[in-house]
Chain A
Amino acid sequence: MIKPENQISIPTRQPAGPRLSIPLRFRDRRRVTILMTLIVLAYITLATLPTMIPSHFKLGTALTSFAENIKIMFWQPHLANTTFITLLGALGQSILLAFLTTLIGSVLAFFFALASTRRLAPTYLVLGIQSLMAVIRAIPTVLWVLIYSVVFGLGANAAVVGITFHSVAYLTKVYADSMDELSPGIIETMQAMGLKKSAIIRQAIIPYMMPSYLSWTFIRFEINFADAIAVGAAAGAGGIGYQLFMSSSFYFNFHEVGVMVYMILAFALVLEIISYRLRTATN
Chain B
Amino acid sequence: MLTVKHLAKSYDGEKKSLTDVSFSVQPGEVTVIIGPSGAGKTTILRSINQLIRDDDGEILFDNTDIRQLNRAQLRQARCRIGMIFQNYNLIEPLTAIENVLHGCLGTKSNLAGIFSIYRNREKEEALKLLEKVGLAEFAYQQCRNLSGGQKQRVGIARALMQQPKIILCDEPIASLDPKSTITVMDILRDLATNDGISVLINLHQVDIARSYADHVIGINNGQVVFDDRIQALSDTAIASIYQKDANSEGSVVHEF
A interface list, Cβ under 8 A from B: 1, 183, 185-186, 188-196, 198-199, 202-204, 207-208, 210
Q: Are A189 and B89 in contact (CB under 8 A)?
A: yes
Q: Is B87 within 8 A of A195, CB to CB?
A: no
Residues of A with C-beta under 8 A to B98: 203
The minimal Cβ–Cβ distance linking A179 to chain B, given in whole angstroms, is: 14
Point out the residues of chain B lying under 8 angstroms from A198, CB to CB: 110, 113-114
Q: Is the CB of B102 within 8 A of A210?
A: no
Docked-complex contact A192 and B81, CB < 8 angstroms: yes
How many Å from the CB of B61 to the closest CB on chain A? 13
Nearest first, the 9 A-B pairs at minimum CB distance are: A199-B113, A194-B106, A194-B79, A194-B78, A189-B89, A207-B93, A198-B110, A192-B83, A194-B75
Distance from A27 Cβ to chain B, minimum over Cβ atoms (Å)? 35
Cross-chain contact of B91 among A191, A196, A207 (Cβ < 8 A): A207
Chain B residue numbers with a CB within 8 Å of A199 are 102, 105, 108, 110, 112-114
A-contact 0/1 string along B79-94, CB 8 Å cutoff: 1011101010101111
Interface residues of B in 73-127 (CB under 8 A from A): 75-79, 81-83, 85, 87, 89, 91-94, 98, 102-103, 105-108, 110, 112-114, 116
Tell me, rounded to whole Å, the shortest Cβ–Cβ distance linking B119 to chain A. Answer: 16
Contact with A along B225-256 (1 / 0, CB 8 A): 00000000000000000000000000010000
Instruction: Indicate if the CB atoms of A208 and B78 lie closer than 8 Å.
Output: no
Asked if residues B75 and A196 are in contact (CB atoms below 8 Å), the reply is: yes
Q: What residue of chain A has the Cβ atom nearest to residue B81's Cβ? A: A192
Check: B43 CB closer than 8 A to any chain A CB: no
How far apart are the CA atoms of A196 and B82 in the complex, in Å? 16
Q: Which residues of the other chain, B, contact A191 by a CB distance below 8 angstroms? A: 51, 78
A185-B89 CB under 8 A given contacts A191-B78, A194-B76, A202-B113: yes
Smallest CB separation, B97 vs chain A (Å): 13
| B75: chain A residues within 8 A (beta carbon) | 194, 196
- Other than A199-B102, A203-B98, A203-B105, give 17 A-B pairs with Cβ distance below 8 A: A183-B89, A189-B83, A189-B85, A189-B89, A191-B51, A193-B158, A194-B75, A194-B77, A196-B110, A199-B108, A199-B114, A202-B116, A203-B94, A207-B93, A207-B94, A208-B92, A210-B93
Mask, B40-78, CB within 8 Å of A = 1, is 000000000101000000000000000000000001111
**Residue of chain B at shortest CB distance from A192:** B83
Taking the closest CB of chain A, its distance from the CB of B219, in whole angstroms, is 20
How many residues on chain B are close to A (CB under 8 Å)?
32
B107's nearest neighbour on chain A, judged by CB, is A194
Contact A193 B83 (CB under 8 A): yes
- Asked whether B91 lies within 8 Å of A204 as measured between CB atoms, the reply is yes
Asked if B162 is at the interface (CB within 8 A of a chain A CB), the reply is yes
Complex contacts, B83 vs chain A, CB 8 Å:
189, 192-193
Other-chain residue from A193, A204, A207 in contact with B78 (beta carbon distance below 8 A):
A193
Residue of B nearest to A207 (CB): B93
B110 touches A208 (CB 8 A): no
Name which residue of chain B comes closest to A199, CB basis: B113
CB-CB under 8 A from A202, the residues of chain B are 113-114, 116
Contacts of B158 in A (CB 8 A): 193
Given A193-B162, A198-B114, A207-B94, A188:B105 Cβ within 8 A: no
Closest to A202 in B: B114
B residues within 8 A CB of A192? Answer: 49, 51, 78, 81, 83
Q: CB-CB < 8 A to B92: which residues of A?
A: 208
Given A188-B51, A203-B113, A203-B116, do A195 and B105 touch, yes or no (CB 8 Å)? yes
Residues in B neighbouring A203, C-beta threshold 8 A:
91, 94, 98, 102, 105, 113, 116
Chain B residues closer than 8 Å to A190, beta-carbon distance = 102
- In the complex, chain B residues 162-179 whose Cβ is within 8 Å of any chain A Cβ: 162
CA distance A241 to B94 in the complex (A): 44
The contact string, 1 if C-beta is below 8 Å from chain A, for chain B 145-171, is: 000000000000010001000000000
Residue pairs across A and B with Cβ atoms less than 8 A apart, 29 shown, are A1-B252, A188-B89, A189-B85, A189-B89, A190-B102, A191-B78, A192-B81, A192-B83, A193-B79, A193-B82, A193-B83, A193-B102, A193-B103, A193-B105, A193-B158, A193-B162, A194-B107, A195-B102, A195-B113, A196-B105, A196-B110, A196-B113, A198-B113, A203-B91, A203-B98, A203-B113, A204-B91, A207-B91, A208-B93
> From residue B90, how far is it (CB to closest CB) to chain A in Å?
8
> Within the assembled complex, what's the spacing in Å between the Cα atoms of A191 and B105?
11
Report the bound CA distance from A188 to B162 in whole Å. 16
Q: A156: shortest Cβ distance to chain B, in Å?
A: 34
CB distance from B239 to the nearest CB of A (A): 20
Q: Name the residue of chain A whose CB is nearest to the CB of B112.
A: A199
